[in-house]
C-alpha cells in the first residue's frame, strides 16, 4: 500500500505570494492533519480534517487555510507569504474517526525569499 504522498516536495516562493500544497493520504484513510516544522518552533499543528470537516485548528493566522475533498485528499493554502513561513510542511493521515495511528508523508519544503 502506498504511503502518504505530498506534492510538490520543494517550493520556492517570493514574499507576498500565495502557495497551495497537496496531500494524498494512504488509501482508505479518511483523516488528514497538517503540521509545520521549523528549527525555532519545532513541530506545530495546523489543522485536522475528517470526511471534509475541519475538527481542530492550531494557533495560526487566517492566512493559513485548508480543505479536504471527498476522496480524502487535502490541500493547504498560505496566502500573503512571509519569510517566517519558510518551513517543512508535513501531512499525516489516519484511518478512522478516532484512529490514533498517524502516518506522515515526506513533507513539502517551502522557502520564502
Partner 1 sequence: GEDVEQSLFLSVREGDSSVINCTYTDSSSTYLYWYKQEPGAGLQLLTYIFSNMDMKQDQRLTVLLNKKDKHLSLRIADTQTGDSAIYFCAETHDYKLSFGAGTTVTVRA
- The contact set with partner 1 (CB under 8 A) reads 4, 31, 33, 35, 42-43, 45, 48, 50, 55-56, 58, 90, 92, 100-107
CB of 20: closest distance to partner 1 in angstroms? Answer: 19
CB of 70: closest distance to partner 1 in angstroms? Answer: 19
Q: Judge contact between 56 and 50, C-beta under 8 A.
A: no
DSSP state of 80: S
Nearer residue to partner 1 within complex by CB, 16 or 99:
99
Nearer residue to partner 1 within complex by CB, 77 or 97:
97
CB of 59: closest distance to partner 1 in angstroms? Answer: 11
Q: Assess whether the previous peptide bond of 69 is cis (omega < 30° from 0).
A: no
Q: Kindly state the cell numbers that stand for 95.
A: 484511518
Nearer residue to partner 1 within complex by CB, 12 or 43:
43
Integer Cα distance of 59 and 44 in angstroms: 9
Q: Kindly state the cell numbers that stand for 54.
A: 475541519
Q: Residue holding cell 490541500? A: 75
Amino acid at each position: 500500500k502506498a504511503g502518504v504522498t505530498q506534492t510538490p516536495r520543494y517550493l520556492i516562493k517570493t514574499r507576498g505570494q500565495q502557495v497551495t500544497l497537496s496531500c494524498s493520504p494512504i488509501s482508505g484513510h479518511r483523516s488528514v492533519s497538517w503540521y509545520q516544522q521549523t528549527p525555532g518552533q519545532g513541530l506545530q499543528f495546523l489543522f485536522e480534517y475528517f470526511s471534509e470537516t475541519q475538527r481542530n485548528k492550531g494557533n495560526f493566522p487566517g492566512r493559513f487555510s485548508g480543505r479536504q475533498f471527498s476522496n480524502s485528499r487535502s490541500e493547504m493554502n498560505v496566502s500573503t507569504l512571509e519569510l517566517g513561513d519558510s518551513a517543512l510542511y508535513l501531512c499525516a493521515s489516519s484511518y478512522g474517526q478516532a484512529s490514533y495511528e498517524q502516518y506522515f508523508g515526506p513533507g513539502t519544503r517551502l522557502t520564502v525569499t
